């Protein structure tokens, strides 16, 4: 197995023997490469989960995906014209897909998959409490959960209560619009790889020269599918390195002082989970699972759920110092990988994050370096 301090791989501690076997099966599936003989396509963006989620850390712009067709909360207006996702590649004999005229589009690189089971196990009440505490934040930080409609194949967790309009608190994806890891996995197989499952049985198609294909026999069976969901759920959290270093500790204090921690929450706690290793655990993701208005430079004109076009879910910062190892020696940060350094990522913070970003710019070079050193220890 790869050194966990290289990218981020490997299971949480304390899985039972049978859980370890299931995790290993899911690990193989996650990285196994599909071909047209094993269901890939006809439209797809990559041929494996691991192709985009390299070492379960941040993805590379090389495997960027394009979504189109939703500019407000009324839903995607281009679902019958190939939405919500562009099939970047197609099998031979199929016409390349295009973004339909009039549709806004966005480009997203893969966020890290490490630790997502911990994020899933955070109770809705904790997310609501964080949002409530922001109400009087003097820096103008607000943030709200992304309430979205969940697909019929998703069973809500015990304790997760819909709002009066039937929408649930969602938390996965760059805009926080997906409810859980099962939904995220079904959509990834379908939209990213053209692999049908019992949950999403119809392959994406090109509306210009095809009508919707019939539901196919699942191209991934339920056992394999469930092992992949289990695998991502049980991935370990990236662990901090050099936590005892004096500069790292100073950087951590400054990070809190200038208001970064208002959104990038250092500690969260999981509730009860059917997987004992994930139950009632305190962990450090550096996200609040809320979406925030990040200002005009990051407004992509595309949205999901009730996030506005300039709103993004706070990116977890764990594993940041390892990103370079799996991104070819460079780093590509923010939703579309446009920031090539941590400093650049901070400079891009506008909207609700403008105050803390301006404070960062005004710090001495020594203090800025301490924050960067701290972030690289994550």
By the 8 A CB rule, do 372 and 343 touch? yes
Other Cβ atoms less than 10 A from the Cβ of 342: the count is 19
Q: Is 298 in the site for ligand HEC (CB under 6 A)?
A: yes
Site residues for ligand HEC, 152-211, by CB under 6 A, read 172-175, 181, 184-185, 188-189, 192-193
Residue with tokens 């799996």: 326
The answer to the question of residue 40 lying near ligand HEC (CB under 6 A) is no
Member of 114, 342, 370, 378 binding ligand HEC (CB under 6 A): 342
Residue 292 sits in the site that holds ligand HEC (CB under 6 A): yes
Q: Give the list of residues 6+ apart from residue 303 with CB closer than 8 angstroms, or none.
A: 70, 71, 72, 73, 175, 309, 311
C-beta of 167 vs 264, nearer to ligand HEC? 264
| Closest-CA residue to 227 (of 270, 192, 272, 182) | 182
CB of 179 to ligand HEC, least distance (A): 11
Contact pick of 7, 39, 41, 259 for ligand HEC (by CB under 6 A): 259
User: How would you classify residue 159: left for phi > 0, otherwise alpha for psi between -120 and 50, otherwise beta?
Assistant: left
Say whether residue 254 binds ligand HEC (CB under 6 A).
Answer: no
Residues 254, 258: Cα–Cα separation, whole Å: 6
Which of 54, 90, 315, 377 forms a contact with ligand HEC (CB under 6 A)? 315
Identify the CA nearest to 349 among candidates 292, 269, 265.
292
For the segment 55-74, give every residue that binds ligand HEC (CB under 6 A): 58-59, 63, 65
Among candidates 85, 290, 284, 288, which has minimal Cα distance to 175?
A: 290
For ligand HEC, the binding residues (CB under 6 A) are 45-46, 49, 51-53, 58-59, 63, 65, 108-111, 113, 116, 141, 172-175, 181, 184-185, 188-189, 192-193, 228, 232, 258-260, 262-264, 292, 294, 298, 312, 314-315, 317, 333-335, 342, 345-346, 349, 352-353, 356-357, 360, 371, 375
């Amino acid at each position: 197995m790869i050194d966990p301090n290289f990218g981020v791989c490997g299971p949480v501690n304390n899985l039972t023997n049978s859980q370890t076997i299931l995790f290993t099966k899911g690990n193989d599936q996650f990285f196994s490469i599909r071909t047209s003989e094993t269901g890939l396509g006809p439209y797809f963006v990559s041929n494996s989960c691991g192709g985009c989620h390299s070492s379960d850390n941040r993805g590379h712009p090389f495997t960027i995906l394009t979504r189109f067709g939703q500019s407000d909360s009324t839903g995607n207006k281009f679902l019958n014209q190939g939405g919500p996702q562009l099939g970047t590649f197609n099998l031979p004999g199929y016409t390349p897909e295009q973004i339909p005229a009039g549709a806004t589009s966005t480009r997203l690189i893969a966020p890290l998959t490490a630790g997502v089971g911990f994020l899933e196990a955070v109770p809705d009440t904790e997310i609501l409490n964080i949002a409530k505490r922001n109400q009087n934040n003097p820096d103008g930080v607000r943030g709200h959960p992304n309430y979205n409609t969940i697909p019929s194949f998703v069973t809500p967790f015990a304790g997760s209560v819909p709002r009066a309009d039937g929408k649930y608190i969602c938390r996965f994806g760059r805009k926080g619009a997906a409810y859980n890891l099962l939904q995220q996995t079904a959509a990834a197989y379908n939209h990213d790889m053209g692999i049908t499952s019992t949950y999403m049985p119809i392959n994406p198609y090109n509306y210009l020269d095809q009508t919707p294909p019939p539901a196919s026999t699942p191209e991934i069976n339920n056992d394999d599918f469930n092992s992949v969901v289990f695998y991502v759920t049980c991935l370990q959290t990236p662990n901090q390195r050099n936590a005892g270093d004096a500069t790292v500790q100073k950087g951590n204090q400054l990070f809190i002082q200038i208001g970064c921690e208002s959104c990038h929450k250092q500690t969260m706690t999981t509730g009860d989970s059917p997987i004992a290793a994930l139950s009632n655990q305190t962990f450090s993701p550096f996200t609040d699972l809320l979406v925030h208005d990040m200002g005009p430079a990051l407004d992509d004109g595309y949205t999901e759920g009730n996030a506005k076009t300039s709103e993004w879910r706070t990116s977890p910062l764990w594993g940041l110092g390892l990103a370079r190892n799996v991104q070819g020696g460079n780093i590509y940060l923010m939703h579309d990988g446009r920031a090539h350094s941590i400093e650049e990522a901070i400079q891009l913070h506008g909207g609700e994050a403008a105050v803390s970003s301006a404070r960062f710019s005004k710090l001495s070079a020594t203090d800025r370096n301490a924050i960067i050193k701290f972030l690289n220890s994550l």
